[in-house]
Amino acid sequence: MNPDDIKLQELLRGHRPMPALPPRFQQNVWRRIEDAEAPAQSASWLDALATLILRPRFALAAAAVLLLAGVSAGTLEGRQSAQHDARMNYLAAVAPDSAR
């Protein structure tokens, strides 16, 4: 290599302007890379709940629980109502208002 070329290259390198990097440049670059690689998060708790509801297992289990609760409460209530009506019938037969 020509010694003049080497001098010229050094001269050119020294003359090239090197702008100052903004503060925390490297840290910001890495943060943006990590953000880009991270999996997309759900937007809110509402979306998470909707996703849960749409799961067939969860939907079936919830429907079964509600059905069971409804049948139990209805049976209990029906039995109480029937007993109350039957008691009123008996009372009306054995103890009419005029005799009480």
Positions touching other proteins (CB under 8 A) are 44, 46-47, 49-50, 53-54, 59, 62-63, 66-75, 77-79, 81-83, 85-87, 89-96, 98-100
* Of residues 80, 76, 57, the one with CA closest to residue 68: 76
> Closer to other proteins at the Cβ: 6 or 91?
91
Q: What's the min distance (Å) between Cβ of 39 and other proteins?
A: 19
> Closer to other proteins at the Cβ: 9 or 81?
81
| Residues 6 or more apart in contact with residue 22 via CB below 8 angstroms | 28
Q: Are 59 and 51 in contact (CB under 8 A)?
A: no
